[in-house]
Every structure is written in structure tokens, then in C-alpha cells.
Chain A
């Protein structure tokens, strides 16, 4: 099992160590050659505007989009969720992504850093609540009819899935709870 972690910028190292703790090889993905032989990919949190720029300059945008379109299992957290959404509010005009999930997200929709927070979530398929950390998180304004909502916070979707792509507005890589990574890996 080999799950690449997009390592252009952001919290990629935390995802890599979490996957390594599950005995999954988790190479960093920075250039197109790093995509060879992957069974899945994690798009980490960070600044989506920075990642968008680096996706272009690194030449990764087109081949990674093609791989995800072809069914590469994908887990996007925070900025990674923004990269997977079809519609982004308050993004840059030239911002690129992967258009995987029919949803509208508002960048930094929960506010500035002082509005960042922790909360317990009830997650579909998990017996006990999942403790989640939200950092300048994207706010899901709309989820398409075909999109599965796996968790909500204060009524808003925060964990969603469509086919082979799962996205979270929060950071499962920043807490000790490995259950969401286990679910993602098990479904590959």
C-alpha cells in the first residue's frame, strides 16, 4: 500500500507520520514523477492559494487531476477540501483545483485564527465522537445531492464523501485519533 502526500506546502509531515503509524508507505509528492505507483493521495491543510500556485509551477496539476479523475483514492483536509470542491468563494481568480466534489466552500468561512476551534463530532460509521481541530477552516455552504455527508458541526457539513474522494474541513492529522485515516486506507 502506497499513499502519496502532496508536500508542496502545509501539514504534510503530520499526515505522513500518521500513515506510517498504520504501516502505509507515505512518500512526499512534489513533482509529477512522485505520482508513480500510488494507491491513494492525501491533500493536506495549508494555504490553498500557495498550493494552487505550486501545483502549476511544479507541473503536478494536470497529471494529479488526471490520476484523481481516473479513480485514485483521495483524502483532502482543510485546504485539501478546497482543492477538491467544484465551487470556491473568496479564492483567487486564478486558483486551480481538482473539481471532485459538487460543493461550495467559503475559504476561511469560520473567520480568522481567533475563531479557530476544537469540537467533538459524531461521525457516520464511528462508535465514539471524533475530536476535531478546525484552523481557519473552510465553511461548506452547499453540498450536492449525490454527496454523502458523514459529519456535521452546528448543522454544517464538515466531513463529506463522493465516490473515491473524502474531504474534511478539520485536521484529523493533528490529533492522536487515527480512525479517519484507518477508514480511508481500509477503503482503498
Chain B
């Protein structure tokens, strides 16, 4: 062993970005709007918090333009917890992303829950040292975001509804197409790339590995421990819970239960135990009654 200390240190690389996403696997990322809620999330075992001004259910109710949160509020949450803090920028709003990076957030969510700032372009995420997570409804969308530099993909679901059906649809679409690609021959991969409107090398990589080159998490509509376990059994590697915790009757108890359900997602005995006596979940919205489909934002 050499006595001279190694002095090299390279930051902001893709392995460093996707590495943090790897560390969040099997965990729950919770939306919080105050330092107090952030503490509740950390106490319950969240692997990260998403700092935002209003949970999606309230954004849905209030309407208007939804933007990046006040930096003061984000800093307050960073000071309150020791787990990673994420924050949302509008789709295409690279200046909001620059501000979030300057605040030292651990992950930027380029999110359809906020009102998009650009109707054609997502953020060039390679230009940043901070990692990005982006939503996707299908495999083509996921691969386009990865080609732009996203270090984590989350299925979009339909945020603020408490209804898991869209999350299931998007997960099944992404994972089902990956399964089909592993069965395709080399000539068919060109057609897959064309149909998905995705870079051929990423399609060829999936044919080899059967998975995305970055972690795949699930978001949008998870309200119960059973919902979280459903997403995990379908192939998600972790879950985001937005309105589902702090719009329920007993956020502390529900948050802990969803954390346990995400770990023990294949153990129905434990799922039955942690699902008991949680109080009422958020009421939720039937999809036909949803006024604005956030999942349709982004391209």
C-alpha cells in the first residue's frame, strides 16, 4: 500500500449520479411541504424527501401555474433532515434547475406535476452535476429522458389522485416492452427504436440486459401499503408517495406502514399486519373525474 494519499477526485459523473439512485432502491421518497413534515418522513424511514410548496392534490385543487418552490422553504427542509432532499423544476425550465443545483439539492425532479415551461424541449441534463429524475409513461419516453441525461426514471402515474391505475398502466407498459425487446432479433431492434422514437444503442442495451440503464421507480397515485407493494411486485425498484401520506388521516402511521410494505413487498403476512388500523387514506379521484392529466405533459 502506498503512503501517498490518492488526490484524484472526480465529481458529477454519471456513475456518481445514478449511484445515488441505486442507494434509494427498496425505499420510499415522500413529498413534504414543511420542515415538520420532513422530520415525520425521516422518522418513518423515508430514504429521501421531495421538497415542494404544495402536494399534487393541492396543486390540482388550486389550479394556476405551479412553479419551483421558494428556495427558503427548500433550505429549511435541508436543515431539518439528514436524508437526501429532492426538489422539482418545471419541464424545460433549466434555470429553475440551476437554482436548485445552487441550493445543493441532492436530486432534481424535472416534473410534469409543475406547469411545463417548454413545449418541445426537456432540460439538457448532461449539462448538470446534480442528478435528475424524470417521469415516463412508456419505454420510449423513458429512453428519451435517459438520452438527455436522466439518472433515474419514475413511472408517472397520475399525481394527486390517490388512484394507482395510471401508475400500474405506465409500469406495465415500460416493463412489458422491455420484456418483449429481449425476445426481438437484431433486425427487429431497429424497428423497436423507430417505434419508440428512442436511441438505437439504448434499445440494443435493453435487448442484452432486460432492464433500463438507470433505476426505475414508481410515482403517481400510491396511497396505501398495498399500492406500494403492488408497484414493487410489478417491477418498480422504489416508490414515490406524494399526496398519499400527508393527505391521509394519520400520516405518521401510514408513512411507517408504506416503508415496511416497500421492503417486505413479497410477504403478504407482513403486508396484512402493516395495513391494519391506519385510519382513512386520502379520498382519491376516479380517473374520469380528473380535470387535468399531468402524465400527458412532457414528450
Contacts and interface: CB of A to CB of B under 8 A. Distances in A.
Instruction: Tell me if chain B binds chain A.
Output: yes
Interface of A: 7-14, 30-31, 45-47, 49-50, 53-54, 57-58, 78-79, 90, 92, 107-108, 112-124, 129, 133-136, 150-155, 171, 174-175
A171 B101 CA distance: 24
B150 to A, nearest CB: 15
B10 A119 contact: yes
Given A7-B263, A113-B20, 14 more contacts: A10-B22, A10-B25, A11-B25, A13-B237, A30-B264, A31-B264, A54-B45, A58-B263, A79-B23, A107-B82, A113-B107, A133-B16, A152-B5, A154-B7
Contacts of B101: 114
Contact of A117 (B2, B16, B27, B267): B16
B26 A114 contact: no
Contacts of B131: 113
B106 interface: yes
Given A58-B263, A124-B1, A136-B106, A53 B10 contact: no
A96 B99 CA distance: 36
A7 B5 CA distance: 34
Nearest to B16: A116
A9 B1 contact: no
Interface string B22-38: 11111100000000000
Given A30-B263, A107-B82, A10 B1 contact: no
Interface string B214-228: 000000000000000
A106 B104 CA distance: 19
A8 B237 CA distance: 12
Contacts of B12: 114
Contact of B84 (A14, A57, A113): A113
Interface in B1-21: 1-2, 5-13, 15-16, 19-20
B129 interface: yes
A151 B4 CA distance: 11
Contacts of A114: 11-12, 101, 104, 106, 129-130
A109 to B, nearest CB: 11
A16 to B, nearest CB: 12
Contacts of B237: 13
Given A49-B82, A53-B45, A133-B19, A117 B25 contact: no
Contact of A78 (B1, B23, B83, B106): B23
Contacts of A12: 25-26
Nearest to B274: A57
Nearest to B130: A114
A171 B6 contact: no
